[in-house]
């Protein structure tokens, strides 16, 4: 892992070492038609948590076009286990397929297989996946570390907050680990009212002010974000299947997450060797910079195949028991520099006034055209309604 | 004249050769001198004085050599030659009388045997003798010898119609042997080359002919000889100072025609220095990239690909010792200081029998022998490094030393540059060499060599990289008799790297990889009769390789990985012959039996039969005792080449070659890096084998000043190593699970036109070549691109290189070069998709696309200082412009997500004109 990171830096390094202006240019590669065809993307994880079994089907898109995950509709999906049960998944919305039974839970020790028949009759099947029992997260905690940054010819030392997990599998079964997390933090519009200054019109000799209160409903919110990095680890052939001080997330200075109160929930799952190497390769390819000292990227397919043997689907189908843990971090728990998300909103400057925008128009009044002007006070919704950023519904765990 | 010679004698600036003095007036009559007089116990010097006074005769000699010689004789109208014969009878002295009665007296032992009776002859004649006392003559005289007719041997002594001409090629300037020089005659199309002592041997028909002596970097020499019987002819060759001298002697060529081997490229060392170089560092590795059939994945990368071979399939030998990572700064600079390189040859077609162990090529680099007369050297400074080298005589007698040292001062530069990218970065390298050339006696020469190179750098992090090459070698050149020679070497070559992080508290580690290679090689050459030469020998290579281990201090969170070394013994036994079938046809052929004995040490994984090698399929782990034989391989390597002259200035060559390789570098990045590891073949990793068939047509025009050649080749490689997608090669003790064997095929056409002589030197090389690889496995899921052929990373079909060198004046030289090649293959992302909240890229099939074509023009202007001969130092100033058109050639291509859209970017590191000034000084 360490080695790969160094390789990424190499090409830039060589350029700079030679004291040459290395140059980066945009270009448009011409792609083969066959390569830009859409492929089926499968995403499915069966856990031992109570709920429906869910699978998400989408289409891939050409690399050179704007992309959104276009849902793949009209497929017929079954999940079959090795105990002879078959569960049908129904197309709900946005490419999500769910079982009708909302109280299903996967059973560790069972083996699950995904079967898909698309609208045009093409059949896909996953490799059978064994659900393993994952141990609990022993501890989830945070540590402050110092990192050095180089800016304007000077070095700066910043405090960063690392969130770490410890876990251990005493049975020695779990060799491939994966963590996902969900962060939630509180945000607050840092003012109760906005002062609106009237009197812009030159005909009015004096200014008038008006205070507009911000609705308390729009003032306090909670933002929740899923993890956007791949956190996997292998303890394969380690003497003990032990995870110690594994950094799951790292929060740097200048953000708003730690401003008031922050919470992170880490979900720990296990992976099969296949799925582990699938994620590992995805990570490798997404971190690679295309440098000639990077591993040559390659096509990455998961464990879902076309039954006629002519191709593969992208994505994966996996099963694992799931263990979660949550911690809270208050602003007084750390020394990380934070910045309010509303820093850029105008009302933070003194005085908190809004300048009106003036619109001119004409009215036809009995054949006579009268020019008039109107003043409108506008503000970004983000600045006066925190619901533009998060939700004002306090989470249960808060 | 005499004074001139004497002065040199007093200075003891002797070259090994005696040179013959030429006529002052070509119209002088050839009048024999007749001596009359009675001499009793008269010192020879007095006799000479008296004779010089009385007769129109001049003598040249070394005073020491005629000391104590007394003349007692009665002459009556006796011809001078007979007089001298009488005087020198039973003395180790020989003489030569020129047509205007200049007499040279010199010591010699074998001469009387070689040239009995010929002293009577009053014709011009040159007789030379190895290691005889030398008289230095001026360059002008040296050059005039070519117009003389030289008699070799004794008339009537040989009735076979052919005779052997042998002798030594030596540098006029330093007296060092000229290695790898070509000797050939245009009439017979016969050729030979000189060995490491400068010795050559060629069989020629009796009669008048012109013999050409050529060598890269040396001025060509011709001699008109009249061959009577076996004889010796030593040649002084002048270093070609290609920018200073305009001397062009027509009727010479580089002699590709007479050269036995096909696909052999000699690097012109003097050209390396005049070709525009990046940042003013002349580079031997860069210069071979311009040759037809040699490619690279990109500029600024290490390694080269020869005729479709991988970078690890080249055996790079520096003074006969293998060098494992030949570059500094990831390939931006070669690890060998070009200032001390004497000659370099790349064998890409037919590989000589004595070399084995790599399947694509042998790149043989020899450093200079060292100046025999005085201490000399050079120093240079460029934006990257400073270098100095010294060489000279070691003991008063015939031994020499060579030392060189080069180092960067980039750390100092780094501290001056405030760029974010360079924060917490350091980089530096050095390389140095000490070589002693010890003359033991006539028949034994011992070479002691030590070489070390080291790179150390840090990439704005706490992690430091270190890598080094170390070579120690002892090479004994021994002559059993004039027909049997041997070269025995004991060589130790080490490569190791270390990546370490010692600063961070719980992330400290040190990752190391070591390779040790000890080899014992004994090569023999045996001349039986004039038309046959036998070569035979054996090589033993012992390897000890640590595949990589990670050591950690006690408080580190990182898991240590400790491994045991892999050991193996590689051997090669060969025998072959060079046979001149007829005047037109030369055949060289033989067999090399190579093999590997791989030893087991420690853990060994056993995989389930009929299953792919995969971690999940390990069914057992065996613990083997130390040094038990694990697996043996044996490969007979047949090698045949043929040269057929189709006329006075053209020839056709054919060759077939088989090669085997038992050690490979594991790399799955586009360019090799010093963190790639070497791995020996073992029970799972099969040795690579290559077969190459090549043919060529060579023709010279305009009195050999224009050489044209066309070569075609077809090559098959078995068990080429390809890697499974995302293979983890570091710290992996079951590397066989990451590797797939491939079959490679490569074919190409190489066209070359070279113009020498005159003010303009030019070269145009064009190559069309393809290299395709196919993965081979019984298991479909392991195959790359479904087992179809895909282009190799370095498959660049069209390559063009044009070099012109214009000597505007004796002190001013302008050089330009143009390179073009098709862009290398690349794997592009073609689609994107979403999993969770992350967008990922799906890539095309392996190497399905190509980056844009590569094009670059360079220009350099060299200004030489004052050309006066007797000044203490000679300096030169080179101004060069790299990438004159500022074309932004793609170095790498990558994709970045911008607003939900992936944009393609290309990075060009040399995307602008790079001017450099280099100052060089010679002393």
Residues in chain A within 8 Å Cβ distance of B615: 236, 273
Give me the helix-helix angle, A2-17 and A273-287, nearest 10°: 10
Range B189-214 average pLDDT: 80
At B838 the pLDDT is 83
In this prediction, residue B132 carries a pLDDT of 34
Contacts of B608 (CB under 8 A, 6+ apart): B617, B618, B619
Q: How far apart are CA B326 and CA B310, in angstroms?
A: 15
Alpha-carbon Rg for chain B, nearest whole angstrom, is 31
- Candidate ranges A150-154, B676-680, B766-770, B847-851; pick with highest mean pLDDT: B766-770
pLDDT score of B415: 62
Q: Over chain B, what is the mean pLDDT?
A: 79
Q: Across the strands, what pairs with B536?
A: B524, B575
Given a cut of 50, is residue A206 above it in pLDDT? yes
Taking only the tens place, the pLDDT of each residue in B173-184 is 777 788 778 888
SS3 category, B156: coil
How distant is the Cα of A164 from the closest Cα of chain B, in angstroms? 13
pLDDT at B654 over 70: yes
CA distances from B869 to B244, B713, B873, B916 (A): 11, 47, 9, 28
> How far from chain centre, in Å, is Cα B234?
23
Size (chain A), residues: 398
Summarize the confidence of residues B841-864 as an average pLDDT.
Answer: 87
A31 reaches B (C-beta below 8 A): yes
Confidence of residue A58 (pLDDT cuts 50, 70, 90): very high
Note the pLDDT of residue A268: 95
Q: What's residue B107's pLDDT?
A: 67
pLDDT (average), residues A56-60: 92
CA nearest to A126, candidates A114, A134, A138: A114
pLDDT one-digit tens code per residue, B606-649: 888 777 887 777 888 888 777 788 889 999 999 999 989 887 78
Q: Nearest chain B residue to A41 by CA: give it.
A: B833
Q: Closest Cα to residue B914, out of B881, B877, B890? A: B881
- Rounded to an integer, the average pLDDT of B489-514 is 84
pLDDT > 90? residue A139 = yes
Rg over CA atoms, chain A: 27
- Kindly report which listed range (A160-174, A210-224, A289-303, B272-286) carries the lowest average pLDDT score: B272-286
In angstroms, the CA A312 to CA A303 distance is: 8
A282 contact B CB<8A: yes
CA B356 to CA B689: how far, in whole Å? Answer: 11
Which residues in chain A touch residue B911, judged by CB atoms under 8 angstroms apart?
A: 21-23, 25
Q: Which residue has the higher pLDDT, A232 or B214?
A: A232
Q: Which of B506, B726, B730, B916 to mutate to test the interface with A (most CBs of A within 10 A)?
A: B726
Q: What is the rounded average pLDDT of the residues B460-483?
A: 87
Sign of CA dihedral B137, B143, B148, B150: positive
What does the alpha-carbon distance between residue B84 and residue B118 come to, in Å, rounded to a whole number? 13
Determine the distance in angstroms separating the CA of B472 from the nearest CA of chain A, rounded to an integer: 31
pLDDT (0 to 100) of residue B187: 67
**B86, β-bridge pairs:** none
Query: What's the average model confidence in pLDDT over B303-332?
Result: 87
Lowest mean pLDDT across A28-32, A132-136, A392-396, B292-296:
A28-32
The answer, yes or no, to whether residue B510 has pLDDT greater than 50, is yes
CB contact under 8 Å between A298 and B891, yes or no, is no
Residue B594 and residue B356 in contact, taking contact as beta carbons nearer than 8 Å:
yes
The torsion defined by the Cα of A379, A384, A390 and A391, in degrees rounded to 10, comes to -130
Enumerate domains of chain B plus CATH numbers: 1-137 (3.55.50.30), 265-374+383-922 (2.40.170.20)
- For the ranges A14-18, A69-73, A193-197, the lowest mean pLDDT is seen at A14-18
CA distance A371 to chain B (A): 42
At B284, the pLDDT band (50, 70, 90 cuts) reads confident
Which residues of chain A have a CB within 8 Å of the CB of B846? 296, 298-299
| A343 against A247, higher pLDDT | A247
Per residue in B754-796, pLDDT tens? Answer: 887 778 888 899 999 999 999 888 887 778 888 899 999 889 9
Strands A353-354 and B760-776: unpaired
**Which segments within B724-797 are labelled E, that is strand?**
739-755, 760-776, 790-791
What SS3 class is residue B22?
coil
Q: How far does the CA of residue B297 sit from the closest CA of chain A (Å)? A: 9
Q: What is the pLDDT of residue B343?
A: 86
What is the average per-residue pLDDT within A39-66? 89
Instruction: Give the chain A residue nearest B461 (alpha carbons).
Output: A6
- Per-residue pLDDT, B242: 40
- Top-confidence residue, B18 or B739: B739
Task: Looking at the complex, report in whole angstroms how far the Cα of residue B824 sits from the nearest Cα belonging to chain A.
Answer: 11
Assign B247 to helix, strand or coil. coil
For the segment B62-81, the average pLDDT, to the nearest whole number, is 79
Q: Is the peptide bond before B569 cis (omega within 30 degrees of 0)?
A: no
pLDDT in tens, B97-119: 776 677 777 765 333 333 333 33
Confirm if A372 and A206 have CB atoms less than 8 A apart: no
More confident residue, B857 or A347: B857
Q: Is pLDDT at A257 greater than 80 in this prediction?
A: yes
Closest residue of A to B415, CA-based?
A: A153
Residue B144 or A29, more confident? A29
The SS3 assignment for B81 reads helix
Residues 79-138 of A with CB under 8 A from B: none
Degrees, nearest 5: CA angle B640-B645-B646: 125
pLDDT score at B5: 30
Interface of A with B in 246-275 (CB under 8 A): 273
> Residue A187: in which H helix or E strand, if any?
strand A176-188
pLDDT of B246 reads: 32
* Of B33-42, B303-312, B563-572, B854-863, the least confident: B33-42
Question: Which of A299, A306, A310 to probe by mutation at the B interface, max B CB count within 10 Å?
Answer: A299
- The pLDDT value given to residue B395: 73
Residue with tokens 């030979």: B192
pLDDT for B123 equals 34
**Distance (Å, whole) CA B416 – CA A310:** 59
pLDDT in tens, A75-112: 999 999 999 899 999 998 889 999 998 899 899 999 99
* The pLDDT of residue B279 is above 90: no
Distance CA B598, CA B632 (A): 6
Whole-number pLDDT of residue B172: 78
| Residues of chain B above pLDDT 90, percent | 23
Site from A298, A309, A313 to mutate, B interface, most B CB atoms within 10 angstroms? A298
Task: Tell me what the pLDDT averaged over chain A comes to.
Answer: 82
Question: Which carries the bigger pLDDT value, residue B612 or residue B712?
Answer: B712
pLDDT surpassing 70 at residue B412: no
Tokens 């911000």 — which residue?
A214
Pair B564, B599: CB distance under 8 Å: no
User: What gap in Å lies between CA B305 and CA B360, rounded to an integer?
Assistant: 8
ipTM of the complex: 0.84
User: Quick check: B726 and A284 CB within 8 A?
Assistant: yes
Q: Beginning with the edge strand found earlier in the chain, give each strand of the sheet holding B264-267 in spatial order.
A: B264-267, B341-347, B361-367, B314-318, B321-322
Least confident of A43-57, A184-198, B338-352: A184-198
Helices (H), A18-62: none
Nearest 5°: CA angle at B749, between B748 and B751? Answer: 150
Residue of A nearest to B278 (CA): A18
Neighbours of B113 (CB within 10 A): 9
Q: What is the mean pLDDT of residues A241-270?
A: 91
Q: What is the pLDDT of residue A292?
A: 66
Nearest to B473 by CA among B454, B455, B486, B489: B489
Q: Is A157 on the interface with B (CB under 8 A)?
A: no
A 10 A CB-CB count for B287 gives: 22
Question: In this model, does residue B59 exceed pLDDT 50?
Answer: yes
Can you tell me the distance from the alpha carbon of A66 to that of A108, in angstroms, rounded to the nearest whole number? 40
- What pLDDT was estimated at residue A13? 44
Q: How high is the pLDDT of residue B169?
A: 86
Question: Rounded to the nearest 5°, which phi and psi values hold at A369?
Answer: -90, 120
3-state secondary structure A98-166: EECCCCECCCCCCEEEEEEECCCCCEEEECCEECCCCCCEEEEEEEEEEEEEEECCEEEEEEEEEEEEE
Per-residue pLDDT reduced to its tens digit, B442-465: 889 999 999 999 988 876 667 788
Would you kindly state where each structural domain of chain A is located, as residue ranges? 1-131+272-319, 137-268+331-398
- Partner residue opposite A12 with nearest CB, options B421, B834, B904: B421
pLDDT exceeding 70 applies to what percent of chain B? 82
pLDDT value of residue B717:
93
Q: How far apart are CA A358 and CA A353, in angstroms?
A: 16
- Which of A276, A244, A249, A252 minimizes the C-alpha distance to A265? A249
Angstrom distance (rounded) from CA A40 to CA A31: 19
Q: Is A343 helix (H, G, I), strand (E, B) or coil?
A: helix
pLDDT at A31: 81
């Amino acid at each position: 892992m360490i080695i790969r990171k160094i390789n990424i830096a190499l090409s830039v390094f060589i350029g700079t070492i030679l004291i040459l202006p290395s140059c980066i240019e945009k270009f448009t590669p011409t792609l083969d038609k066959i390569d830009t065809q859409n492929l089926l993307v499968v995403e499915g994880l069966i856990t031992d948590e109570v709920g429906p079994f869910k699978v998400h089907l989408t289409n891939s898109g050409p690399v050179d076009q704007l992309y959104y995950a276009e849902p793949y509709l009209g497929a017929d999906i079954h999940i079959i286990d090795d105990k002879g049960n078959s569960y049908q998944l129904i197309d709900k919305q946005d490419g999500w397929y769910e079982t009708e039974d909302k109280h299903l839970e996967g059973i560790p020790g069972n083996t699950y297989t995904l079967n898909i028949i698309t609208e045009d009759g093409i059949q896909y099947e996953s490799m059978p996946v064994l659900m393993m029992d994952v141990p609990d997260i022993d501890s989830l905690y945070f540590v402050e570390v110092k990192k050095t940054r180089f800016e304007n010819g000077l070095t700066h030392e910043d405090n960063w907050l690392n969130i770490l997990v410890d876990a251990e599998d005493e049975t020695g079964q779990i060799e491939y680990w994966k963590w996902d997390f969900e962060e939630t933090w509180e945000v607050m519009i840092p003012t109760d009212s906005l002062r609106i200054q009237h009197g812009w019109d030159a005909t009015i000799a004096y200014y008038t002010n008006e205070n507009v209160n911000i609705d308390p409903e729009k003032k306090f919110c909670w933002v929740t974000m899923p993890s956007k990095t791949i956190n996997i680890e292998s303890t394969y052939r380690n003497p003990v299947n032990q995870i110690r001080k594994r950094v799951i997330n790292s929060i740097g200075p200048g953000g708003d997450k730690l401003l008031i109160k922050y919470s992170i929930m880490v979900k720990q799952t296990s992976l099969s060797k296949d799925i582990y190497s699938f994620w590992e390769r995805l990570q490798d390819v997404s971190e690679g910079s295309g440098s000639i000292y990077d591993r040559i990227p390659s096509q990455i397919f998961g464990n879902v195949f076309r039954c006629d043997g002519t191709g593969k689907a992208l994505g994966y189908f996996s099963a694992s028991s799931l263990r979660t843990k949550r911690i809270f971090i208050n602003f007084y728990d750390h020394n990380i520099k934070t910045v309010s998300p509303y820093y850029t909103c105008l009302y933070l400057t003194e005085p908190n006034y809004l300048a009106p925008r003036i619109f001119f128009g004409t009215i036809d009044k009995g054949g006579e055209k009268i020019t008039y002007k109107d003043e409108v006070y506008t503000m970004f919704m983000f600045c006066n309604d925190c619901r533009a950023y998060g939700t004002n519904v306090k989470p249960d765990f808060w | 004249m005499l004074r001139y010679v004497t002065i040199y004698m007093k200075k003891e600036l002797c070259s090994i050769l005696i040179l013959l003095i030429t006529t002052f007036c070509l119209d002088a009559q050839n009048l024999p001198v007749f001596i009359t007089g009675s001499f009793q116990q008269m010192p020879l010097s007095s006799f000479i004085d008296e004779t010089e006074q009385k007769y129109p005769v001049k003598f040249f000699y070394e005073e020491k050599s005629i000391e104590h010689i007394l003349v007692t004789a009665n002459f009556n109208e006796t011809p001078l030659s007979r007089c001298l014969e009488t005087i020198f009878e039973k003395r180790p002295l020989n003489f030569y009388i020129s047509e205007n009665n200049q007499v040279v007296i010199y010591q010699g032992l074998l001469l009387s045997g070689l040239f009995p009776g010929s002293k009577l002859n009053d014709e011009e004649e040159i007789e030379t003798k190895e290691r005889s006392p030398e008289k230095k003559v001026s360059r002008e005289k040296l050059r005039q010898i070519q117009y003389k007719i030289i008699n070799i041997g004794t008339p009537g002594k040989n009735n076979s119609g052919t005779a052997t001409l042998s002798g030594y090629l030596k540098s006029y300037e330093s007296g060092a042997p000229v290695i790898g020089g070509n000797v050939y005659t245009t009439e017979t199309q016969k050729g030979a080359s000189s060995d490491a002592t400068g010795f050559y041997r060629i069989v020629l028909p009796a009669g008048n002919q012109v013999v050409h002596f050529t060598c890269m970097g040396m001025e060509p020499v011709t001699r008109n000889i009249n061959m009577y019987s076996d004889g010796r002819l030593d040649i002084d060759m002048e270093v070609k100072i290609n920018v200073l001298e305009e001397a062009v002697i027509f009727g010479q060529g580089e002699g590709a025609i007479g050269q036995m081997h096909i696909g052999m490229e000699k690097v012109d060392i003097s050209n390396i220095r005049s070709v525009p170089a990046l940042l003013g560092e002349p580079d031997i590795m860069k210069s071979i990239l311009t040759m037809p059939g040699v490619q690279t994945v990109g500029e600024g990368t290490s390694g080269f690909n020869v005729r479709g071979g991988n970078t690890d399939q080249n055996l790079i030998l520096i003074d006969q010792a293998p060098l494992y990572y030949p570059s500094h700064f990831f390939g931006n600079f070669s690890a060998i200081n070009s200032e001390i390189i004497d000659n370099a040859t790349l064998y890409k077609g037919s590989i000589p029998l004595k070399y084995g162990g790599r399947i694509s090529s042998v790149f043989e680099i020899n450093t200079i022998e060292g100046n025999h007369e005085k201490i000399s050297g050079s120093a240079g400074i460029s934006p990257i490094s400073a270098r100095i080298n010294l060489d000279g005589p070691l003991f008063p007698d015939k031994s020499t030393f060579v030392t060189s040292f080069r180092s960067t001062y980039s750390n100092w530069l780094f501290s001056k540059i405030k760029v974010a990218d360079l924060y917490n970065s350091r980089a530096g390298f050095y390389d140095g060499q000490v070589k002693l050339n010890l003359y033991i006696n006539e028949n034994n020469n011992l070479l002691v060599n030590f070489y070390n190179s080291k790179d150390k750098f840090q990439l704005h992090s706490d992690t430091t990289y270190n890598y080094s090459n170390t070579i120690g070698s002892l090479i004994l050149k021994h002559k059993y008799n004039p027909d049997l020679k041997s070269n025995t070497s004991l060589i130790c070559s080490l490569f190791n790297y270390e990546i370490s992080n010692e600063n961070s508290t719980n992330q400290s580690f040190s990752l190391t990889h070591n390779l040790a290679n000890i080899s014992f090689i004994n090569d023999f050459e045996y001349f039986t009769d004039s038309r046959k030469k036998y070569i035979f020998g054996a090589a033993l290579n012992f390897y000890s390789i640590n595949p990589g281990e990670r050591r950690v201090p006690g408080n580190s969170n990182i898991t240590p990985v400790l491994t045991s070394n892999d050991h193996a013994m590689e051997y090669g036994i060969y025998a072959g012959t060079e046979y001149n079938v007829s005047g037109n046809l030369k055949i060289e052929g033989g067999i090399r039996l190579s093999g590997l004995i791989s030893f087991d040490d420690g853990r060994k994984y056993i995989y389930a039969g009929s299953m792919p090698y995969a971690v999940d399929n390990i069914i057992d782990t065996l613990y083997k005792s130390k040094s038990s034989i694990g697996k043996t391989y044996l490969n007979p390597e047949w090698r045949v080449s043929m040269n057929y002259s189709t006329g006075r200035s053209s020839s056709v060559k054919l060759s077939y070659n088989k090669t085997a390789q038992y050690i490979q570098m594991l790399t799955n990045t586009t360019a090799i890096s010093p963190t790639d590891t070497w791995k020996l073949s073992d029970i799972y990793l099969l040795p690579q084998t290559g077969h190459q068939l090549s043919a060529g047509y060579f023709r010279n025009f305009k009195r050999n000043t224009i050489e044209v050649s066309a070569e075609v080749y077809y090559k098959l490689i078995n068990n080429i190593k390809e890697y499974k997608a995302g293979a983890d090669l570091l710290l992996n003790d079951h590397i066989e699970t990451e590797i797939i064997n491939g079959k490679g095929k490569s074919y190409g056409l190489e066209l070359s036109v070279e113009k020498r002589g005159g003010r303009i030197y030019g070269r145009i090389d064009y190559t069309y070549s393809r290299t395709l690889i196919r993965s081979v496995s019984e298991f479909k899921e392991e195959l790359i691109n479904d087992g179809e052929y895909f282009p190799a990373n370095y498959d660049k079909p069209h390559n063009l290189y044009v070099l012109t060198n214009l000597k505007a004046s004796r002190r001013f030289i302008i050089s330009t070069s143009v390179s073009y090649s098709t862009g290398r293959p690349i794997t592009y992302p073609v689609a994107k998709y979403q999993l969770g909240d992350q967008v990922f890229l799906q890539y095309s099939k392996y190497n399905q696309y190509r980056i844009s074509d590569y094009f670059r023009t360079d220009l350099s202007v060299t200004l030489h200082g004052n050309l006066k001969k007797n000044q203490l130092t000679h300096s030169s100033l080179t101004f060069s412009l790299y990438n004159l058109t500022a074309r932004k050639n793609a170095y790498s291509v990558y994709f970045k997500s911008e607003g939900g859209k992936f944009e393609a970017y290309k990075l060009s590191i040399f995307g602008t004109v790079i001017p450099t000034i280099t100052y060089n000084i010679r002393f």
